[in-house]
A and B are shown apart, each in its own frame.
Chain A
Amino acid sequence: MPNMSPKKAPMPTQDPNVRNKNFLEVATGYTEEVAIEEAQRCLNCKNKPCVNACPVHIAIPDFIKEVANGNFAAAYDVISQSSSLPAVCGRVCPQETQCESKCVRGIKTEPVGIGRLERFVADWHNAQENATVNKPQSNGHKVAIIGSGPAGLTCAGDLAKKGYDVTVFEALHLAGGVLVYGIPEFRLPKSIVQKEVDTLKQLGVKVETNMVIGRVISIDELMDEYGFESVFIGSGAGLPRFMNIPGENLCGVYSANEFLTRTNLMKAYKDDSTTPIMHAKKVAVVGGGNVAMDAARCAMRLGAEEVYIVYRRSEEELPARKEEVEHAKEEGIIFKLLNNPVEILGNEDEFVTGMKCIKMELGEPDASGRRRPVEIPGSEFVLDVDAVVIAIGTSPNPLIKSTTKGLETQKWGGIIADENGLTSREGVFAGGDAVTGAATVILAMGAGKTAAAAIDEYIQNK
């Protein structure tokens, strides 16, 4: 008999006024009892609409059924057939617009907490001391993966499971891509990413850090000299975008990438870190996406007294996940909606002293279908801040494109790839933000997964 409770079992979280001063994980996770109880809310319906709404097509009702029966190890096996990074996805996937949005239970009440259950299963697995993976029999074919973010790690995992000899090349000193430099510790503990990477290593995946492909080795050299039969480019988002308003190069103006990299990858929040960061008292974060929420919540944890999200549209258009917005609000982030920065002001030493904004109202819908924000004449005001973080997106890194002959890109710089991830170069595949522009972890994983299947087919038919 299913559990007919109209609401998801709540996710236990740290108190907002405690957590906004530490970098420990916000959500603490289900217990076994709560997980079983929540799993029993699944009707195990015939059509399984959730599965198709998952970019990596996890057999969701199957794993949930195992959880309901208390077979957590079996549940993990079901998930790991489709996903290489369940502990990550259970935390950062926008389930509300994917699997959970199609859940039959969600028509009348709250959907099953699929993401929370996925996280529970992955964490349960990782907590088992004898959790090892068997290294598959090698098939002798070499594949190179550029970038160790969600797209690259997924592609690497899928290929390794099929017996490929996979090497992942990472430009930074640590594997994980955006999972380690971008997403903060309190939302995705780095030990979890490390665990996922270690699992891939047990599968036989080699990870080479400090390798900037395009500079130290080109894609052509990987294929011609190093014997890789196929290459997957998952190099991720690139150069941060700025607004091109006066004052953007003042001291105290950060791109979200820089602010988050200093905080997360370089651990600037720890006392023993040698990487500096400004501990500003009043911070404005420009933008309304998940990255903006992450930056704002980091600024708060670094000791800011007031942190603003400055976004030019209204709450309804905020691209961030609802949960992130709610968490940010609970932690005391102030939302300055329908406001657009026009100038960043500085003192004689060129440190930020304020940000001039103009108020906006929503006009007719634009090309994106959202109502276009229009300036209200004469409504300028100065927001009193001493640091500004710009989180309005990125444009692709030019390095791979400029060093790989015949690799076609879009006008805006994204690598052109077909629905299987194949680029204009034979044997070269691509996926994730490098192809789509800034998107989500799970979409990048989906692209990595699709490309892995296409690479397998390409090599087997060669």
Chain B
Amino acid sequence: MYKIVKKKSLNPTVTLMEVDAPLIAKKAEPGQFIILRVDENGERIPLTVAGYDRTAGTVRIIFQIVGATTEKLNHLNEGDYIQDFVGPLGVPTHTDGLKKVCVVGGGVGCAIALPVAQKLHEIGCEVHSIIGFRNKDLVILEDEFKACSDKFFMMTDDGSYGEKGVVTAPLEKLIKDGENYDMVITIGPLIMMKFVVKTTKPYNIPTTVSMNPIMIDGTGMCGGCRLTVDGQTKFACVDGPDFDGFKVDFDEAMKRGAMYKPFERHAYEETCNLFKKEVE
């Protein structure tokens, strides 16, 4: 059992938790993920590590309430325990030798883009950050991004905060203005990452994407997380979750991600009923 030592609501649908898991905290690196099970009958879900404190022995997760499991997780409070918490899994984001990087985050993906930006900043890399949200109410981690970025851009779909528009607009402008990035690292919804790749490809800027497919064991046993990269089947849990964005088949990944939609919707509604909450 793993104790929740801190819980904070970042916006109405996104929650931050710090979980007591000293062994994982000791080893975790940006880009890696954990798998958790809320309770005895719970499903296993992957969440990318949003931070860690090696001295305090805690791992930070930030999740959006999208279904039954995250709804149940959000009902736990400081002092409560998570049944299972395993990691760090996957290959850390490659940061060695990078001198200038643009980090592009979208929505709750910003939570996992942040430790990558922080790590790059720490190793002396010039960091430009572009983060995007649907609207002002959903904005998270703005100050944290500002603190580790040499240039910072805030975008909202409806213009209620920062600039109005999508994250690829400032990205394209920066590239056109002659920023020579060693790499663009993007983490967010599949559709956003697909368009980031579309933006960088004509300029041939290496682009890393972080894939978050459906998983069960997360250790390279079930193959549920497979995706097509450069025409070959890869497993996000052991080969990823980071991949070369130019080579990922996003359309297939989106279809696979929707495989259990009706089931998930039903489970979410049941859980909401349980907690007497309005279904979003």
Contacts and interface: CB of A to CB of B under 8 A. Distances in A.
Given A249-B256, A251-B259, A209 B222 contact: no
A212 B28 CA distance: 13
B86 A397 contact: no
A171 interface: yes
Given A249-B226, A349-B255, A399-B238, A212 B23 contact: no
A399 B219 contact: yes
A171 B217 contact: yes
A443 B203 CA distance: 55
Describe A's contact surface by its main secondary structure. Answer: loop
B57 interface: no
A397 to B, nearest CB: 5
A324 B220 CA distance: 27
Contact of A216 (B87, B222, B260, B267): B87
A77 B42 CA distance: 39
Contact of B83 (A173, A239, A273, A276): A173
Contact of B87 (A212, A249, A398): A212
Interface string A243-284: 010001101101101100110001100001111101000000
A350 B228 CA distance: 14
Given A251-B255, A398-B238, A274 B223 contact: no
Interface string B253-276: 001101110011001000000000
B84 to A, nearest CB: 4
Given A239-B221, A249-B233, A397-B221, A210 B86 contact: yes
A216 B226 contact: no
Interface string B208-225: 000000001101111110
Interface in B225-246: 226-228, 233, 235, 238
A388 to B, nearest CB: 13
Given A248-B233, A249-B226, A215 B88 contact: yes
A399 B220 contact: yes
Interface residues of A, number: 40
Contact of A251 (B42, B221, B256): B256
Given A171-B219, A240-B223, A274 B233 contact: no
Contacts of B85: 210
Describe B's contact surface by its main secondary structure. Answer: mixed
Given A217-B23, A266-B43, A239 B255 contact: no
Interface of A: 171-173, 181, 209-212, 215-217, 237-240, 242, 244, 248-249, 251-252, 254-255, 257-258, 261-262, 266-267, 272-276, 278, 349-350, 397-399
- Please name the 3 residue pairs, one residue from A and one from B, whose CB atoms are nearest each other, closest first: A255-B223, A258-B222, A276-B263
Interface of B: 23-24, 27, 37, 41-44, 68-69, 83-89, 216-217, 219-224, 226-228, 233, 235, 238, 252, 255-256, 258-260, 263-264, 267
30 contacts: A171-B86, A172-B217, A172-B219, A211-B86, A216-B23, A216-B24, A216-B27, A216-B88, A239-B235, A249-B228, A251-B255, A251-B256, A252-B259, A255-B224, A257-B221, A258-B223, A258-B224, A262-B216, A266-B43, A266-B44, A273-B43, A274-B41, A274-B43, A274-B267, A275-B43, A275-B44, A276-B43, A349-B255, A350-B252, A350-B256
Given A274-B267, A397-B238, 18 more contacts: A171-B219, A172-B217, A173-B37, A209-B84, A212-B86, A215-B88, A239-B235, A249-B226, A254-B224, A255-B222, A258-B216, A261-B222, A273-B43, A274-B42, A275-B43, A275-B44, A276-B43, A276-B264
